[in-house]
A and B are shown apart, each in its own frame.
Chain A
Amino acid sequence: MNMDKPVRRVAIFALLLFFGLMAQVNYVQGSQAEDLRTDARNSRQYADVFNSPRGQISAGGEVLVTSKETGKDNPKYGRTYKDGAVFAPITGYFNGNATQVERAYNSLLGGKDTRITQQRWFDTFIGKKAEGANVELTIDPQAQRTAYEQLKAGTAQGRRGGAVVIDVKTGAVKVAASWPSFDPNEVAPQTGEKGGKRLEQLDKGDGVVKPLVDNALSQTFPPGSSFKAVVSAIGMQKLGLNSSSTVDTGQLILPESGRPLPNSHDTGNCGGAAPLRGAFAESCNTSFAKMALSMGIQELHDGATRFGFGKHVQLEPDMYAAESDVPVSIKDAKGNTIETGKDGTARSGIGQENVRATPLQMALVACSIANDGKIMNPYVVQKVRAKDQSELYNASPKEFGEAMSGDQAGQLEDMMRAVVSEGTAKNLAGRRIAGKTGTAEQGPGNPNANWFVGFSPVENPRYAFAVMVEAPGSGAANAGPVAAAIMAKVLQK
């Protein structure tokens, strides 16, 4: 009996094993390579920066972030942030890890992106490293500075503030400011071990303040009465209301606890019955809580989803805002599900209970009101240019969704103007802004989250904004003037 045949078969089997390996290597290095290179866990993509000049980040013609040679071997290049703390919510930081634009545009800034390497394939071929591309932000640097200063001045000691301004027609983010912030220079690559320690320290934070987490895009707060804009829009769709429909503004006894839900005042429009416009302008709690009760928490949740609640709004690739939510139920620390009951639904209707929103989310709400119901997808990077100034990327505005009809948006626009002309924010009259105030309680011992959410200019709005400051006081008194100051700067252009 001869063994040649089985040897030959085993030889073929061995070949198949090698074909299997070759196929896998092709799969990993051919089709998977890009995914692996940009995997969030892959520290290589961030560590590389130290060896090659990274692209600049600029805004409004002003260069904000640059890389300079350190003259040392490791790192060869550092990273310098102009007014670091002011722009950190957008630029992010870069050291071993990266956040925000530094992370989202890492492959372009670092010169690794195929859009660069394909153009400069010969350089790649001869092993010359392609240079990083420059990123231009949509941010208005002067307005951003104003926002930072205003938030700093308006926020209570040890508490937080955030502001966002969006171009309603495009979705371009003009301002995304946060107080308190941190200086990315302190943790830049050239700081070495000291920077790493500082990063750890920043990561821990103090009280509710988490310096690495910005309060414009990445932190949620109870929106309070500013959420009434959302409830009104859902009410118009589900209950067939319009701005002149009469709503009940009288006392409300909560169905489960039997306790009353108070209005801030029981005079004027909040005296018993009023048109929706009036109830909105004077921010009568009872009418919106009643609207929420008659629609139910699920309708409220679903309606809010159309504005962007319930998901991480994506600004750029790998750059997401925190998730705003109108929860139908929540999980407690032990993992038990707690349904939002009737009382909870009523309080959700006035932006309390477990309703949470980022300033960005509330700016999107204002965007839909000022833009005939359409929400534009927010973005922060306008252009990316290679070192030779050729354009590698230019943002094209995209629609995020349609939250309401143009007619409903028009009515809400008018209601927001009424807030300033005759409602809770009369103090802002003549400052070219309209919007909805919000003063959310955050539990005993914590200052209110004061909101002003709206648009500017009052007629033919071009920008939507949301401002939140944690301070004793109210949305009209604290957040409104901050918003007015920021918008004055934005409109200067």
Chain B
Amino acid sequence: MQSIGDQIRAHLPYQRRNAASLALLAFAMVLTLSAFAEVGLARDGNIPGGLFVYGGGLAVLAFIAYLIQAKFTPYADPLLLPLAVALNGIGLAMIYRLDLDTSHDRKVAAAAGKKLLPDAADAPGQLMWTFIGIALFVGAVMIMRDTDKPDAPLSFTPKTAQRYTYLIGLTAVVLLLLPIVPGIGAEINGARVWIHLGPFSVQPGEFAKLLLVVFFAGYLVNKRQAMSLIGKKVGPISLPRARDLGPIMVIWFFCLGVLFMQKDLGTALLFFGLFVSMLYIATQRVSWVVIGVGLLSVGIFIATLLPFMGHVNQRIDIWQNPKPYFDGGCLLESGKVVPVNPDTTIYKKYKAQGTISPGFSACAELGGEYSDSAQLMKGLFALGQGGVLGTGLGQGEPWRTPLSFSDFIFDSLGEELGLTGLMVLLLIYALIVQRGMKTAVAARDPFLKLFAGGVSFVLALQVFVIVGGVTRLIPLTGLTTPFLSQGGSSLMANWILIAILVRMSHDARKPAPQAIQDEGMTQIVSTR
């Protein structure tokens, strides 16, 4: 029986879809440029100067990326690049729009000799990172060669990574641990996921995400036969051997470590979900999913029991009922939530003492756990303000949402583009993911299959965790919204992700190499 992959390949016309890609790219640019135009028209009644700098800059970059894609990976999936450009462009327009509103605050801060507000949108910075991100895409597409030409110069293919499985795995772990290292690591907005690199702040977790996909793929390709075939069958579920359980336990402990040390439930959730899904792809065994979900639940349950991890409990509490925590709530041991907001006496007392976080101190005195749901609620208020059609770009007040340009950019877009716009954004993400999955199915090599599948799924999971968080579908955890959020690490990592998918889709979709048959001239012997 033909596999699905073979069936798909059999129907692939091996067409170059470069014209389609260009047309879609043009449409993505129309979207972006109209977004910039609308911001200007709504705010000042004219086309903004930023349109030419930002929109124009992005257009040139995207066109270069297209040319490189057409030259080096002519059979690549035509949708991936335009979809990524559309997301990047819309995100950039939103950040530009927020920058216009917050730049005043920053000027005031600068005049007062204070440092740039950490919570300010920075459109020039984002344009620079977009430039670097697309440059990385271009570079990656150019450097990575076709898998079947191993002896080509600079022979680096996605498959090369398989050779360095464990080294890459180790690198991922080191990257993840870097933020904890004193001196390099930095805590921004309450999450210790950053490191300082000269003038830049980098989130190494974004890159670790990609490296972990490579590691999982490499590891699982080697072990998948044993893991999927050997084991005792108990009822409908076949239990794995104890030695095969080892790796999943290691990853589990590792993710719990991330959760405890960095207090970052989102990243832990992301990695563990990624591992379980790739394990399932590799082995086809549902029992792994059951074991994985079970382990994760146990892990989270343990986290809620530990006294110093009270905030996990609280996250869940806030998710279910955010209102009592608005502007600061204190979860007492009895399970009651009392407000500790700027209006309360106990808050004022610590404020007067000059305590840095008066709410936290006030709550400590009451013997409870302090948290604030104002971010989540204000994000939801932004969504409510947007309603079905949105206020229109430039006509809402997205700056009222905290972190409106990073963690909560999805809510900012929801305010100005409305339900309609958000559905479009989610569809774009879903399309990228499904195109990636299609690439995985069409890939010929098992490692590449797992690689493409993992990369696509990690994107889906990341969107789910952050968007689900800011829309209160699941408890809120901080993650970047791929391509939309302000920030270099995220943009660079996700552009590399797209480059990998583009390269692999080209590999999967191009015609099989033709055997050299044109040996005619040497065979024919003149009889004359």
Contacts and interface: CB of A to CB of B under 8 A. Distances in A.
A24 B472 contact: yes
Nearest to A51: B397
Contact of A3 (B42, B446, B460): B446
Contacts of B400: 43-44, 47
A239 interface: no
A417 to B, nearest CB: 48
A14 B419 contact: no
B14 interface: no
A331 interface: no
Contact of A17 (B3, B323, B464): B464
A189 B198 CA distance: 45
A122 to B, nearest CB: 12
Contacts of B277: 10, 13
Contacts of A7: 281, 437, 440-441, 449, 453
Interface in A184-203: none
B507 to A, nearest CB: 16
A388 to B, nearest CB: 23
Contacts of B460: 14, 17-18
Interface of A: 1-11, 13-15, 17-18, 20-22, 24-26, 28-30, 32-37, 39, 41-44, 47-48, 124-125, 127
A4 B274 CA distance: 17
- Best-surrounded residue of B283, B429, B430, B446 (most CB of chain A within 10 A): B430
A29 B464 contact: no
B380 A28 contact: yes
A87 to B, nearest CB: 26
A25 B42 contact: no
A490 to B, nearest CB: 39
Contact of B392 (A32, A48, A127): A127
B433 A14 contact: yes
30 contacts: A1-B228, A5-B284, A6-B282, A7-B441, A7-B449, A11-B437, A11-B438, A11-B441, A15-B434, A17-B460, A17-B463, A18-B429, A20-B473, A21-B464, A25-B383, A28-B380, A28-B383, A29-B383, A29-B414, A29-B418, A29-B419, A33-B384, A35-B384, A36-B385, A39-B381, A41-B323, A44-B400, A48-B397, A127-B391, A127-B395
Given A8-B4, A11-B434, A22-B423, A3 B449 contact: yes
Contacts of B450: 3
Contacts of A1: 224-225, 228, 284
Interface string B256-282: 000000000000000000000100111
Interface string B479-520: 000000000000000000000000000000000000000000
Contacts of A124: 389
B326 interface: yes
Nearest to A35: B384
- Best-surrounded residue of B277, B384, B429, B440 (most CB of chain A within 10 A): B384
B437 A127 contact: no
A41 B450 CA distance: 47
B383 A41 contact: no
Given A33-B386, A47-B397, 13 more contacts: A1-B284, A10-B437, A10-B457, A11-B441, A15-B433, A18-B433, A20-B464, A20-B468, A21-B473, A22-B426, A29-B387, A43-B400, A127-B392
Interface residues of B, number: 61
Contacts of B281: 3, 6-7, 10
Contacts of B4: 2, 4-5, 8
B135 interface: no
B274 to A, nearest CB: 11
A24 B280 contact: no
A336 B392 CA distance: 55
- Best-surrounded residue of A20, A25, A26, A41 (most CB of chain B within 10 A): A25
- Best-surrounded residue of A28, A42, A48 (most CB of chain B within 10 A): A28
Say whether chain B's binding surface is mostly helix, strand, loop, or mixed. helix
A126 to B, nearest CB: 9
A10 B422 CA distance: 23
Contacts of A21: 426, 463-464, 467-468, 471, 473
B419 A3 contact: no
Contacts of B414: 25, 29
Contact of A29 (B280, B327, B384): B384
A3 B387 CA distance: 42
Contact of A2 (B3, B280, B377, B430): B3
> Considering the complex of A and B, which 9 residue pairs feature the smallest CB-CB distances, nearest first?
A36-B384, A11-B437, A14-B460, A4-B4, A29-B419, A24-B473, A18-B430, A17-B464, A2-B3
Given A26-B419, A33-B384, A36-B383, A10 B326 contact: no
Contacts of B228: 1
Nearest to B228: A1
A124 to B, nearest CB: 7
Contacts of A24: 468, 471-473
A37 B471 contact: no
A33 B422 CA distance: 14
A481 to B, nearest CB: 40
Contacts of A125: 389
Contacts of A14: 430, 433-434, 437, 456-457, 460-461
A41 B471 contact: no
B251 interface: no
B349 to A, nearest CB: 16
Given A4-B3, A4-B5, A10-B277, A37 B457 contact: no
A24 B319 CA distance: 14
B377 A41 contact: yes
A41 to B, nearest CB: 5
Nearest to B374: A41
Contacts of B430: 14-15, 18
